[in-house]
Amino acid sequence: MSSATNITWHEGDVSRDARAGVAGGGGATLWFTGLSGSGKSTVATAVERALVASGRAAYRLDGDNLRSGINSDLAFSREDRLENCRRVAEIARLFADASVVSVVAIISPYAESRELARRLHAEAGLPFVEIFMATPAAECAVRDPKGLYAKVAAGTIDSFTGIDDPYEVPEHPDLAIDPATSVEDAVALVLEALERAVG
């Protein structure tokens, strides 16, 4: 690994305002957190679609997709989960700096990871919205869109977040979405939260 003393940050010649002018608005990160099956990807996909339809540059960073590529070297230990979230937070910040709305759908079970993501954006002067999909584990297990809870019950998966690995519920999310909320209403709530954050 390179020593930090050998690294120099290079400022670009294009301003954020200039990028925002061609991207339909300034960048930000919408960080969806919650258990597997809580609705993160469903709502995030709908939010991305709504933003792009309105003329706003947006890109969804899905946890499974990222683990298929840039994070494919990581497993599910606490250390690897922390590193997974750190990488996603750095990528989201870069997208936001490029005036793209990063729509992150990732379990991010630990408070310290979510705090790091928020801090990275704050230090860069970029809006960050933490959205907690507040669906309890029992309901997620009933939904079980990927069949993961069934595998946990069968003993073929261990260290599963919310069952035998911790999920630290956000204490002060910017938005909490109740499981009874429709996708359409959830999208509206998220877009409202985004506009508040962007100011």
Domain count along the chain: 1
Dist CA 48 CA 36 (whole Å):
19
Provide the pLDDT for residue 12.
Answer: 77
Q: What is the pLDDT of residues 61-87, one digit of tens each?
A: 999 899 999 999 999 999 999 999 999
Does residue 149 fall inside a structural domain?
yes
Q: What is the pLDDT of residues 96-117, one digit of tens each?
A: 999 999 999 999 999 999 999 9
Does residue 3 fall inside a structural domain?
no
Q: What is the CATH number of the domain that holds 73?
A: 3.40.50.300
Q: What is the pLDDT of residues 165-182, one digit of tens each?
A: 788 999 999 999 999 999
Catalytic machinery residues: 108
Judged against a pLDDT cut of 90, whether residue 14 lies above it is answered with no
Does residue 44 fall inside a structural domain?
yes
Does residue 186 fall inside a structural domain?
yes
In which domain, by residue range, is 146 found? 23-198
CA angle, 113 as apex, 107 and 114 as ends, to 5°? 75
